[in-house]
Chains A and B, each alone.
Chain A
Amino acid sequence: MPPPVLSVRGLRVEFPTRRGVLTALSDVSFDIAPGEVLGVVGESGAGKSMTGAAIIGLLEPPGRIAGGEIRLQGERIDTLPYDRMRRIRGKRIGAIFQDPLTTLNPLYTVGRQLIETMQTHLSLSDREARQRAIGWLEMVGIPAAAQRVDSYPHEFSGGMRQRVVIALALCAEPILVVADEPTTALDVSIQAQIIALLKRLAREKGTAMMLVTHDMGVIAETADRVAVMYAGRIAEIGPVRAVVKAPKHPYSAGLMASIPPLDRKVAHLAGIEGAMPRLSAIPPGCAFNPRCPHVFDRCRRERPELIETGTTRAACWLYDPASERQAPELLRHG
C-alpha cells in the first residue's frame, strides 16, 4: 500500500472559553491514500468542518490543536509556523468552501483570483498564468472561458461560481483537497454536476480528497471510504460499501436508515430519539449512550476506542469481545 497522503493521529481541538475549555475534537485519527476520496458524514455540529479547518491550519481562534498530529506525505504540518503552512495551503492542500456566493472576492475578476493563486505557488509569467487560468476555467466547464476570465464573480451563477472555486482549489495542483459541503448551497439540479466534476478532476489529477457532505447519495457515489463523526469523535470508519450498506455502529445505522431527502441536514435520526449533545454536555462513557438503542452498563462508564469489526472500525463496546454484551444479528450482518 502506498504511504498515505494525509495522516491524522489522535487529533484534539480545544476552545478555551470563559466557562472552561471545550473539546471540539478528540482522538480523531484517519488516513487518506493517494487519489482516495474519504467521505465525512455526521449530524450538524459533529466536528466535520472543524476537522477540515485543523487540517488546512485555519482553525478560528481561540480554537487550537491541543494534541495529536497531522502529517502530509509524512511531514508534520500541524506544528508548522504560519508562513510555512501558508505555502502548503493552496499548493499542496486545496480547499473548497460551502457557499460559492461568498467565497470569491467580489472586487477581483475570476481571472485575477486564479492568476494570483497560481503565481503565489508556481513561478509563472503573467502570460503563462493567464493562459492557465483560461485553461482551468475550460477544465471546470465554464463556457467561453477566454472571455469569462475577465468577468467578476457576480456575473456568474451559483453553480458557475462553484466551478470557479473548484478551479481555484485545484489550480496549483494540490495532492489533497478538503471540500466542506461543496454543494449544500447550490440548486439541487446543479449539485450532481458539481460532484461529478469534482470526482472527475480528482481522478484525472490523482488528487486525494476529504469530502464533507450531508448527502449519502454523494457519499455512496463518490467516496472510497467513509468516516462517521459524532460529538467530535469518529464513530465509525471503513470502506463506503460496508459503512453505507452494513453499518456496525448503532449511530451509523441510524444515520444510514434516515438518509434524508437529498441535501437536507440530518436533524433527527429515524428510530433514534434526542439530539447530539452540546460540547459542554458530552456524557461520560460513550457519547452516544443517551440515544443508543443498544446501550448497556459499560457504555456509561468507559469511552470506546475504534475497534475492528471485520469490515469497518467502530467505536462501540458491542464489538469488544470482552464486553458483557455483543452486537445483535442486525448490526453484525447489516
Chain B
Amino acid sequence: MAAFILSRILQAIPVMLVVALISFAMFAYVGDPVAIMLGQDFTEAQRLQLVHDLGLDQPFFVQFATFVGHALQGEFGLSYRLSRPVAELIAERAPATLELAFCAALVALLVGVPMGVYTGLYRNSWLSRAFLTFSLIGVSLPTFLIGILLILIFSVWLGWLPSFGRGEVVRIGWWSTGLLTLSGLKALVLPSITLGMFQLTLIMRLVRAEMLEVLRTDYIKFARARGLSNRAINFGHALKNTLVPVITIAGLQLGGIIAFAIVTETVFQWPGMGLLFIQSVGAADIPVMAAYLLLIALVFVIINLVVDLLYYLVDPRLRIGRGAAGGH
C-alpha cells in the first residue's frame, strides 16, 4: 500500500515538472514583466536593478530551479496587477472556489448517481425518459447559458436567490466560509447547480450505462437465482460493481469542476480563484496565471492519487494484483 502510494507520487513528479516548465516559460517569456512593473517613466539603472531583482539576468536553468524552489515554498512573487504576494491572493480566493467546487460535486454525485441508478433499473419508465432528455439538455447547453437562465428564473423572475457574490461569509482562521450563514448558503445554490450540471449529467449517463452492463452479468443472474432481494441486488451487488468506473470519471470530473469554475465564477461574479485568473489574464498578470496553472495541475494529480486509492479499496482484484506485483 505504502509502496503503491510512493510509486504514484514518484510518477506525479515529472508531470508537475512539465507543468512547472510551462508556467515558468509563460512567466519568463510571455509579456515583459519589467516593462509592466516599471510603468512609463524609468531610468536604465532602475530597469537593470529590477531585472536583477527579478533574477532575469540569470541563466535559464538557474531561473527555472529558482522558480521551482520558490513554487515549492508557495512563493510566486508579486502580482503585477495588485502588487501583492500571489500566494496571499490565491489563499484568499481559494476557499470560495473550493466550497463552490465541493457543493457542485455534491450536487453532481447526489443527484447524478441516483438518477443513473433509476434510469438503469427502470429503463422504459417515463421518468427515465424525462431524465435522459434532461441530461441531453444538460450536456449540450453551455455552462454560461445555464447560469444565465438560472439567474433569469430564480433571481430576476422569482427573486428567490441572489445572482452574484458569496453572501455573508464567516472567517475561521484564514478560511472564509459561506456555509455557515443563510445568505452564504443561498448564494451557493445557483453557482453550484450551474457548475455541477455538466458533471451531473455525465455521471448519470455513466452510472446508467454501467448499471445496464452489470445487470446483464451472470453474477447478477445468479444473485437472483439465490433469491436475494431486489434491494440487495440493485444497491449492493450491482451498484458496487458500477462504482469502479464511476469513481474514475467522477474523480477526474472533480478536477474539471475546479478548473472550469472559471466560467461559473465569471457569470456569478464569484470571488474565487477562477475569477482572479480571468482578471489576471485581462491584465497579463503572469505570476498569478502561472501559480493558478500549477495549482490546478496539483489538484489533478492529488485527485488522481485519491481515485487510485479508492479503486484499491473497492476492488479486491487490484489489491491482489498490486500486492503480488509489489511483493515479489
Using a CB–CB distance below 8 Å, which chain A residues touch chain B? Answer: 56, 58, 86-91, 94-95, 97, 99, 102-109, 116-117, 120-121, 152, 154-155, 165, 168-169, 172
Contact call A120/B317, Cβ cutoff below 8 A: no
Q: Does B219 contact A (CB under 8 A)?
A: yes
The chain B residue sitting closest to A105, CB to CB, is: B219
Q: Is A97 in contact with B218, judged by CB distance below 8 angstroms? A: yes
A90 touches which one: B221, B227, B230, B320 (CB < 8 A)? B227
Q: Give Cα distance in the complex from A106 to B227, angstroms.
A: 18
User: What are some 23 contacts across the A-B interface (CB < 8 A)?
Assistant: A58-B221, A86-B224, A86-B229, A86-B230, A90-B228, A95-B225, A95-B226, A97-B218, A102-B217, A104-B222, A105-B237, A106-B219, A106-B241, A107-B241, A107-B314, A107-B315, A117-B226, A120-B226, A120-B227, A121-B227, A154-B317, A165-B222, A168-B222
**Known interface pairs A87-B227, A107-B240, A168-B226; A116-B232 also in contact (CB < 8 Å):** yes
Whether B316 and A88, one on each chain, are in contact in the complex, defined by CB atoms closer than 8 angstroms, is: no
CA distance A86 to B233 in the complex (A): 12
Quick check: is B28 within 8 A (CB to CB) of the other chain?
Answer: no
**Contact of B218 (CB < 8 Å), options: A102, A108, A109:** A102
Query: Within 8 Å CB of B307, what residues of A?
Result: none
In-complex Cβ contact of B232 among A88, A104, A120 (8 A):
A120
| Closest beta carbon of chain A to B230's beta carbon, Å | 8
| Cβ-defined partner of A120 (8 Å) among B217, B228, B241, B315 | B228
A contact face: mostly helix, strand, loop, or mixed: mixed
Please tell me the size bucket of the interface on B: 20 to 34
B222 contacts A103, CB within 8 Å?
yes
CB distance from B262 to the nearest CB of A (A): 38
- Could you tell me if B315 and A117 are in contact, using CB atoms closer than 8 angstroms? no
- Interface-centre pick from B222, B226, B232, B315 (highest chain A CB count, 10 A): B226
Given contact pairs A102-B218, A105-B219, A106-B219, A154 touches B316 in the complex (Cβ within 8 A): yes
| CB nearest to A91 among chain B residues | B227
The minimal Cβ–Cβ distance linking B163 to chain A, given in whole angstroms, is: 45
B222 touches A97 (CB 8 A): yes
Task: Point out the residues of chain A lying under 8 angstroms from B221, CB to CB.
Answer: 58, 97, 103
Asked if A97 and B225 sit within 8 Å, CB to CB, the answer is yes
Distance in angstroms from A53 CB to nearest chain B CB is: 9
Residues in A with CB closer than 8 Å to B227 are 86-91, 117, 120-121, 172
Which residues of A lie under 8 Å from residue B226 when comparing CB positions? Answer: 89-90, 95, 117, 120, 168-169
Chain A residues with CB under 8 Å of B19's CB are none
Find chain B residues with CB under 8 A from A155 CB.
Answer: 320
